[in-house]
Amino acid sequence: MPHVEVLQRARGRLRAALNHPSFSSSSLGQKRMRFIVIAAVVLSFILFSFHSHRSESSVGRYRIQAPFRPESQTAESVRLQRRTAVKSAFQHAWTGYKQKAWLHDELLPVSGGYKDPFVGWAATLVDSLDTLWIMGFKDEFDGALEAIEQINFSKPNAERVPAFEVTIRYLGGLLGAWDISGHRVETGKIASENGVVLAQIGSLSLEFIRLSQVTGDAKYADAIQKITDQLAQTQNNCKGERLSFSSRDFTLGAFADSLYEYLPKTHLILPSFSSAAQQYLEMYRIALPSFSKHLFFRPSLPGEPDILYSGNANANSGSARLDTQIQHLSCFVGGMVGLGAKISNSPTELETAINLTNGCVWAYENTPSGIMPEIFHVEQCADLSSCTWKGQGDGFTRVDDRSYQLRPEAIESVFVMYRRTGDPSWQEKGWRMFEAIEKHSRTDIAHARLDDVMDPTPGKTDSMESFWLAETLKYFYLLFSEPDLVSLDEYVLNTEAHPFRRGA
């Protein structure tokens, strides 16, 4: 096939580049290459070069998905119509990107311009590869592979290479495309920035471990293991031998989210007999009771819904004090707890996951636009079991950030809950979310960030991040697809929704 020939040519180019006398850590040459996977490192570790080969995988030790009953012809017809609508939205945005911003990181969906916040290696293109394959755009997928040959990944078009974003979008995107389509690829290496936040430190495990699994080279997983050991030491007192944290602010939102997301997911991708798999599970089981005690809370809202949110906590004074700030970023938590509930076989944890996910659904369904704002505050119920609404208004005590940034976290958890429970009501909730987002965000070119979802007709901002195509629309599409398409029994999705095959 065409893409196989392209990849074979890329292997030859890379071998020549690696054997070139001028090849060094500071100058990797200007050789054109097919895929470049950037493996970011922290704590003085260097980045690695690798080649990949296909790994055969069977269903892992945990069956995550519920048994699904046969659907009626009417239900199937509705589901497929909705899936077609999602696919059409993706095609609209992808076409706009191809026409206006090809080989750039991001399309500006209002003006038709482009920008390159992620070193100019065509982030939207690489991030969208596995979505193209999953949605059946095989010709577009092959064309995207051809286009990647034009990118010189050995030379970032910026002074800094952001470790976190490059790892989840480029490395994750390329591994996900390899896993979902069976492609083989050889790669180069590149330097990364110094100085990281918590999410960067903890959000390398899936990508590096999967890299070791597909190459048979343990050095990538070994490097991550050193980081994980340090994080485990700091879990209870924030101080380890080589890693410590000065802040006593805790959140499952920005700057920490994917670290915790990756604890159960990394456990799932590792072999059951490994000590590393048990370490990630133990870290998650240590963290979850603290989440439940200090971050999860029932809000006081009109109609007194039985839902939960994940807020923030500050422990600088010694005891944790809850801040009832809700971030759209933290809406992944329902899905995370849902996966953990299956691992632990805990109905109580599953109920928590359902309530957390319904909290984000409530935030979508109770704004004038039908879309959840980026950041807001609500009041906490004094009593979890009996919460009487005595306030006024819509329940939002303060909306700190009224924007919607085309984010995927809420639909991610809705998707996971659907696959976990088999309950079709999650599809109905997801459809209402999609209709509102598509209605308000669509432009003549693609889809745009919204500036004020508390307005019935929010204005548009000239921004469309690559995760709109990589994550948000992928989760909507999978919600209305057959359960065996990217089955959670066979795949773990990284924080950018790139599917990695699970370990046996």
pLDDT digits (tens, 9 = 90+) for 83-105: 999 999 999 999 999 999 999 99
Asked whether residue 470 is assigned to any structural domain, the reply reads yes
Q: Which residue's structure tokens are 């059951």?
A: 272
How far is Cα 85 from Cα 88, in angstroms, rounded to an integer?
5
Residue (of 337, 327, 325, 331) closest to 291 by Cα position? 337
How far is Cα 338 from Cα 422, in angstroms, rounded to an integer?
13
Phi, psi at residue 319, to the nearest 5°? -105, 150
Residue 376 has pLDDT above 80, yes or no: yes
Asked whether residue 13 is assigned to any structural domain, the reply reads yes
Task: Name the 3-class secondary structure at 223.
Answer: helix
Residue 57 has pLDDT above 60, yes or no: no
What percent of the chain shows pLDDT beyond 90? Answer: 61
How far is Cα 80 from Cα 67, in angstroms, rounded to an integer?
20
Report pLDDT for 127: 96
Give the pLDDT mean for 305-309.
Answer: 96
User: pLDDT, tens digit, for every residue of 115-141?
Assistant: 999 999 999 999 999 999 999 999 999
Report pLDDT for 257: 67
**Residue 167 bridge partners (DSSP):** none
Q: If pLDDT is split at 50, 70 and 90, which confidence band does 241 have? A: low
Q: If pLDDT is split at 50, 70 and 90, which confidence band does 183 have? A: low
Task: Please give the single-letter amino acid code of residue 387.
Answer: C
Residue 15 has pLDDT above 70, yes or no: no
Residue 10 has pLDDT above 50, yes or no: no
DSSP string, 291-351: IIIIIEE-EE-TT-----EE-EEE-TTSS-EEE-EEEGGGGGHHHHHHHHHHHHT-HHHHH
Report pLDDT for 240: 54
Q: Is 353 in contact with 378 (CB distance < 8 Å)?
A: no
**Angle, alpha carbons 493-495-501 (nearest 5°):** 25
Instruction: Please state the residue numbers annotated as binding site for Ca(2+).
Output: 495
**Residue 321 bridge partners (DSSP):** 314
Task: Catalogue the active-site residues.
Answer: 165, 257, 374, 409
Give the pLDDT mean for 288-302.
Answer: 94
Report pLDDT for 196: 41
Asked whether residue 72 is assigned to any structural domain, the reply reads no
**The CATH number of the domain where 301 resides is what?**
1.50.10.10
Residue (of 424, 423, 415, 365) closest to 395 by Cα position? 365
Q: Largest Cα–Cα distance of the chain, in whole Å?
A: 74
Q: Is 443 in contact with 460 (CB distance < 8 Å)?
A: yes
Q: Which domain holds residue 6?
A: 2-67+78-501
The number of beta carbons lying within 10 Å of the beta carbon of residue 182 is 12
User: pLDDT, tens digit, for every residue of 190-223?
Assistant: 334 444 444 455 568 899 899 888 888 888 888 8
Residue 148 has pLDDT above 60, yes or no: yes
Q: Which residue's structure tokens are 């933290």?
A: 330
Residue (of 420, 250, 270) closest to 335 by Cα position? 420
How far is Cα 74 from Cα 203, in angstroms, rounded to an integer?
42
Residue 4 has pLDDT above 70, yes or no: no
Q: What are 200's two structure tokens?
A: 């960067």
Residue 30 has pLDDT above 80, yes or no: no
Asked whether residue 240 is assigned to any structural domain, the reply reads yes
Structural domains in the chain (count): 1
What percent of the chain shows pLDDT beyond 70? Answer: 81
Give the pLDDT mean for 58-75.
Answer: 85
Q: Is 188 in contact with 39 (CB distance < 8 Å)?
A: no
Residue 227 has pLDDT above 80, yes or no: yes
User: pLDDT, tens digit, for every residue of 469-503?
Assistant: 999 999 999 999 999 999 999 999 999 999 999 97
Task: Name the 3-class secondary structure at 83.
Answer: helix
DSSP string, 363-430: HHHTSTTSS--SEEE-EEPS-SS-------TTS-SEEEE--B----HHHHHHHHHHHHH--THHHHHH
Residue 363 has pLDDT above 70, yes or no: yes
Q: Is 472 in contact with 489 (CB distance < 8 Å)?
A: no
How far is Cα 27 from Cα 191, in angstroms, rounded to an integer?
10
**Crossing angle of the two packed helices 205-215 and 219-234, in degrees rounded to 10:** 150
Rounded to 10 degrees, the C-alpha dihedral 276/282/283/286 comes to: -170
Residue 40 has pLDDT above 90, yes or no: no
Cα–Cα distances (Å) from 51 to 102, 148, 271, 282, in that order, read: 27, 17, 21, 32
Comparing 86 with 227, which gets the higher pLDDT?
A: 86
How far is Cα 103 from Cα 115, in angstroms, rounded to an integer?
10
Asked whether residue 135 is assigned to any structural domain, the reply reads yes
Q: If pLDDT is split at 50, 70 and 90, which confidence band does 320 have? A: confident
Asked whether residue 73 is assigned to any structural domain, the reply reads no
Q: Which residues contact 321 (CB under 8 A, 6 or more apart)?
A: 313, 314, 315
Report pLDDT for 198: 43
Mean pLDDT of the chain: 83
Asked whether residue 442 is assigned to any structural domain, the reply reads yes
Comparing 3 with 95, which gets the higher pLDDT?
A: 95
Residue 2 has pLDDT above 70, yes or no: no
Report pLDDT for 149: 87
How far is Cα 109 from Cα 406, in angstroms, rounded to an integer?
12
How far is Cα 29 from Cα 31, in angstroms, rounded to an integer?
6
Report pLDDT for 244: 56
